[in-house]
Amino acid sequence: MNIQTLLNQRIQAAMVAVGAPEDAPALVRQSAKAQFGDYQANGIMGVAKKLKMNPRQLAEQVLEKLELDDLADKVEIAGPGFINIFLKNTWLSEALIRLRHSDRLDVPMADIKETVVVDYSAPNLAKEMHVGHLRSTVIGDAVVRTLEFLGHKVIRQNHVGDWGTQFGMLLAYMERLRAENQQVSMALSDLETFYRAAKLCFDDDPEFANRARELVVALQSGDKDCLALWDEFINISLNHCEETYTMLGVSLTRKDVMPESAYNDDLPQVVDDLKAQGLLTESNGAQCVFLEEFANKDGEITPIIVQKSGGGFLYATTDLAAVRYRYNTLKADRCLYFVDARQSLHFQQIFTLSRKAGFAPQDARLEHMPFGTVMGSDGKPFKTRSGGVAKLSALLEEAQERAFKLVASKNPDMPEDEQRNIGRVVGIASVKYADLSKNRTSDYQFNWDSMLSFEGNTAPYLLYAYSRVASIVRRSEMNIDDLQGEIVIQEPQERALAMQLVQFEEAIQQVVSDGMPHFLSAYLYDLAGTFMTFYEACPILNAQSDVKISRLQLALSTASTLQQGLNLLGIETLERM
């Protein structure tokens, strides 16, 4: 049930009936204060200005045409021409009954089911995933789950970096270990150490560096032995990624990997197409595209380099090929890119050029979903204590260990395997939720104490709230199927909870339209708080039979909504904590 959409439609119809243009927005929002009703429409003033009318007068005319008798019991004009809407309790309780009996909380499937390509996670396979990959992976996965929940067809694209000059160095090091009869697979069990050792050789040993360069050429010209070595490396590195995805509970699998190397054969064609369209300029021997849209105030343009002077292709060339593939082969209606904000210019250039060159339709919905950096307490990008980049798998291990200790100290009598399981769920959820609850576009500080706290907008708070609501329903010893009957809304705390429950769909719409899961996090946090207030004011288990049944249904719907919401964020719930 999307009340906002429903009210927008009704008010818009009334506006049109009194002479407003078809596309005049009603701008319906949830009201911030109870005195302004449950919803308010803010669109009248703008339309009045266009029609050169007095806004209050226009509002009065709109009210005359407005049909809301079925859902509102009061509609008023406030201030210069706001329309405040007060929903009927009977309508609310009917909406709640529908929600209660629907296995998807009465959230309808999208009217138009789109094919959405989502580019996320995308680590560079030369190294292991580090904390910088957390945001793309976790936010992308939450948006993917929500899109699928609404019935869209999602095609995950894990655009991993598996190509480029670093691989020469890594292959040369594999060769060397092998020549020395050392176990390569052992050495690759820690990619960070492996990378550092290879880099040391590369920097200190000119012969090794030469061999590395030879291997890059051999790899790019398709040399069999070299490809086999590279395959082995990539495979091990992807296994590391998959272990991390499993630990994180992220839905990416091997079949979602569409690596940079997969586009190799398309790259000459991309350059030829750009040339045929007169878009290429040679600059210092490199093939470049200069787009006027990207000129700075002095008229200087940062070019898109698509081919180096030596003939090699670049990151941008691959991304152009990927856009073309996503539209032509995957038949995308919309493409989302969850990539660091520092790549914003890159994506704006790629998107503009793709439309210009016809790699994507003119009106292609190519959307970069940038995110900020994970910072340490010193205000600089988050590092380990020893100053290195924090390996994601190590970070997740630490989260589980810390959460386990916390659980063990709170529940010393619980069997250890249960403490461990709760520690695993809470630890992972804490890291993910700390990220998902922040506005995607800002930087945020990684802080163990605040993410593992049971107070505030945190995973432990929400998981605990869920388990508490679930336990109230359990303690009633009622069979869920017997929880039938009217949901009566009498107390203000009952009403506040009911209202919030029927607003679930509005919260998830923002996740898919803007790629912003923090709106859903904020909603769930508020919902848990509203439930606690309701629970303090309105006894459930000791109430009269029909009040008890009514309130239990509110509790049950709260539990289902918290669980479904957390699930869309990719967070597992616990029945007991």
Residues 296-335 that bind ligand ARG (CB under 6 A): 319, 322
Q: How far is the CB of 367 from ligand ARG (least distance, A)?
A: 12
Name which of 162 and 494 has its Cβ closer to ligand ARG: 162
Q: How far is the CB of 119 from ligand ARG (least distance, A)?
A: 5
Q: Cα dist. 550→93, 185, 477, 568 in Å?
A: 10, 61, 15, 27
In terms of DSSP H, where are the helices of 280-381? 315-328, 344-357
Which span sits near ligand ARG by CB under 6 A: 115-123, 366-374, 416-424, 457-465? Answer: 115-123
Centre a 10 Å sphere on the Cβ of residue 338 and count the other Cβ atoms it contains. Answer: 26
Q: How far is the CB of 173 from ligand ARG (least distance, A)?
A: 21
Name which of 39 and 371 has its Cβ closer to ligand ARG: 371
Cite the beta strand spans of 3-51 per DSSP E.
28-30, 39-41
Does the footprint of ligand ARG cover residue 494 (CB under 6 A)?
A: no
Q: Cα dist. 456→242, 451, 476 in Å?
A: 32, 9, 28
Q: How far is the CB of 27 from ligand ARG (least distance, A)?
A: 35
Phi, psi of 541 (to 5 degrees): -70, -25
Tell me the site size for ligand ARG, rule CB under 6 A: 10
d(CA 292, CA 534): 58
Name the helix (H) or strand (E) containing 384: none
Name which of 157 and 419 has its Cβ closer to ligand ARG: 157
- From 81, 140, 161, 427, residue interacting with ligand ARG (rule: CB under 6 A): 161
- From 159, 424, 438, 518, residue interacting with ligand ARG (rule: CB under 6 A): 159
Buried b (16+ CB within 10 A) or exposed e, 184-196: beebbeebeebbe
Q: One symbol per residue from 117 to 136: x for binding ligand ARG (CB under 6 A), - otherwise; what is it? A: --x--xxx------------
Does the footprint of ligand ARG cover residue 259 (CB under 6 A)?
A: no
Residues 339-368 that bind ligand ARG (CB under 6 A): 339
Name which of 12 and 317 has its Cβ closer to ligand ARG: 317
Contact 390, 382 (CB under 8 A): yes
Does the footprint of ligand ARG cover residue 264 (CB under 6 A)?
A: no
Q: Is the dihedral of CA 204, 206, 211, 212 positive or negative?
A: positive
Centre a 10 Å sphere on the Cβ of residue 293 and count the other Cβ atoms it contains. Answer: 10
Name which of 156 and 424 has its Cβ closer to ligand ARG: 156
Q: How far is the CB of 130 from ligand ARG (least distance, A)?
A: 10
Name which of 85 and 248 has its Cβ closer to ligand ARG: 248
Q: How far is the CB of 132 from ligand ARG (least distance, A)?
A: 8
From the number of C-beta atoms within 10 Å of its C-beta (0-12, 13-18, 19+), residue 46 rates as middle
Name which of 170 and 469 has its Cβ closer to ligand ARG: 170
Cite the beta strand spans of 96-221 per DSSP E.
115-119, 153-157
Contact 157, 258 (CB under 8 A): yes
Does the footprint of ligand ARG cover residue 144 (CB under 6 A)?
A: no
Name which of 133 and 424 has its Cβ closer to ligand ARG: 133
Residue with tokens 């945020």: 444
Contact 14, 20 (CB under 8 A): no
Binding site for ligand ARG (CB under 6 A): 119, 122-124, 159, 161, 319, 322, 337, 339
